Amino acid sequence: MLLLVGLGNPGDKYTNTRHNVGFMMADEIARHHGFSPWRSKFQGLICDGMVGGEKILLLKPQTFMNRSGQSVSETCRFYKLGTDQLIVFHDELDLAAGKLRIKTGGGHGGNNGIRDITAHMDANFKRVRMGVGRPQTKEQVSNHLLSDFAKADNTWLEPMIDECVRSLPLLLQGEDANYMTRVAERLKPNRPNKPKQTPNKEG
């Protein structure tokens, strides 16, 4: 069994913010794969289902981002899950909007949700880092994360989440590179084919 966690903040005013892209991902996994209804447990909302023959628990901590570790660690203790059975989806400032990267372990990169999970458990869990871009100045970071996505962002946001969900079995099987490639291919701009140039012939 695996625990998939989407990070975000509870409450309607945060629903469409960049900081809640993890919640958006969790909601779409549950919808697309026909999971059980969400229920309140472990200081969060939890549901379960099957993906590619794998039993999955899905968690949205309701403790606010900075205290995500409380909910995640409580869930892991109850189900006796180690960090090798934990995958966390979260927003990433250091990636351009629509870019996706996966890593296991390492630092928190300034994400307070990851920081708190690491403090309650350890750092050896898989993170799916979903790029939301970084503003020009450090002072703008909080406002950037807590602002709603613009309508123009749907050109990359919806395809990214959709492909992340559709290709989820690859991630669960440990095929991280293939998973990232699928998402990157889905988000490639539609460029017109350039006509082939015929080399000039002498004589």
CA dihedral (75, 76, 81, 83) positive or negative = positive
Kindly give, in sequence order, each residue whose CB lies less than 8 Å from that of residue 92, ignoring residues fewer than 6 positions away: 99, 101, 109, 111, 129, 130, 131, 132
Q: Which amino acid is at 197?
A: Q
- Residue type (1 letter), 49: G
Which are the catalytic amino acids? 19
For the chain, helix (H) and strand (E) counts, in that order, are: 7, 7
Q: Which pair of structure tokens corresponds to residue 98?
A: 């629509």
What is the rounded distance in angstroms from the CA atom of residue 19 to the CA atom of residue 202? 61
Q: Which of 192, 179, 37 is nearest to 102 (CA)?
A: 179
What is the distance between the alpha carbons of residues 146 and 183, in angstroms, rounded to a whole number? 25
Q: Rounded distance, CA 144 to CA 150, Å?
A: 11
